[in-house]
Amino acid sequence: MLKKIGFIGTGVMGSSMVKNLLKAGYEVHVFNRTKEKAAALTEFGAILHKEISTLVKSCEVIMTMVGFPSDVSEIYFSEVGIIKNANKNAILIDFTTSTPSLAVDIYNKAKEVGLSSLDAPVTGGDIGARDGKLAILVGGDESTFNEVYPILNVLGNNIIYHGEAGNGQHVKMCNQITIASNMLGVCEAMAYAKFAGLDQDKVLQSISTGAAGSWSLTNLAPKMLKEDFKPGFYIKHFLKDVGIAINEAEKMGLETPGLSLSKQLYEDFASQGEENSGTQALYKKYVNKL
C-alpha cells in the first residue's frame, strides 16, 4: 500500500487536500513557494520541506496543485524538480488545471525515467476540497489510476478515468466552458432580482432546485448576496483556464462565443484590480455598474 505522499502547492485547495490525506492516515510531505502556507500544515502532522528535490526523494506518490502551466513546467522539468529527482517507480499526479499537451509531455518524460504520471485536474472548489468531495478527472495509464484510486478516493467522491494522458485536462476544459457561461447567468439573475426589488434570498430558494439549478447557483450565489468575494477560485486562475479552453477549441475548429464573452467580461473586471477575488465577485460588475 502506498503511504508516503508529497504534496507541492498548499494554497486554498491544496491545504484542504493535505489535511484530508493526513486524516486518512497517510504520511504527507509538503512544499510551497510561500513557506508560511506549507508550514501551517505541520501542526496537522505534515512534514515540511524547503526544497522540492528533498521532498520527492522521500515519497512514493508526488502530487502537485499549483497556479499556471509555467509553474507546472518548472516544478516538473527543472534540474531541482520532480522528474530529475523522484525515486524510480514513483507516481506523479498533477491536479493543476493545465494544457493537455503539457500533460502528455510530463507523461512521456516521466515514462522515460521509470516514473508514472496522471493528469488529474479537479472541480468542486474550496468547498469540495475541504469536504473531500472533489470531482477528479483523470488521464494516463489505467493501471496507474487503479493503483492510486484509494488515495484519490480520500480527496473526491466522483473520480472518473478518461483514458490517455491529456484527456483529464480536456475534460476539465469541458467543465470550465460550462462554468463560464453559467456564472454570467447566475450574476445576471441575482442582479435582476435586486433591480426588480425582489427578496434575493427567496428568489434563490425558488430557482435553485428547478431547471436553473447548478453548483454555482447553489454555492456561489449565496456568497454574492452576503458580499463574500473571497476566492474559493481566483479570477486570475479562471482566466488562465478560459484562455486554455479557447486555444484548444480553436485548434479543433470549434467556435465558443459564450466562452469568449465570459473571458471579455472577466478580463475587464480583473483590470480593475479584482484578479485576486473569487469568481463570484463578477456580480459586483452588474450591481455596481463597474
* Residues noted as catalytic: 172
Contact 108, 134 (CB under 8 A): no
Give the whole-angstrom CA distance, residue 225 versus residue 171.
31
Give the whole-angstrom CA distance, residue 193 versus residue 111.
54
Percentages helix, strand, coil for the chain, rounded to the nearest 5?
55, 15, 30
Single out the residue of 185, 169, 150 nearest to residue 262, CA to CA: 185
Q: Which residues pair with 116 in a beta bridge?
A: 91
Would you list the DSSP string of 87-135?
PTT-EEEE-S---HHHHHHHHHHHHHTT-EEEE--EESHHHHHHHT-EE
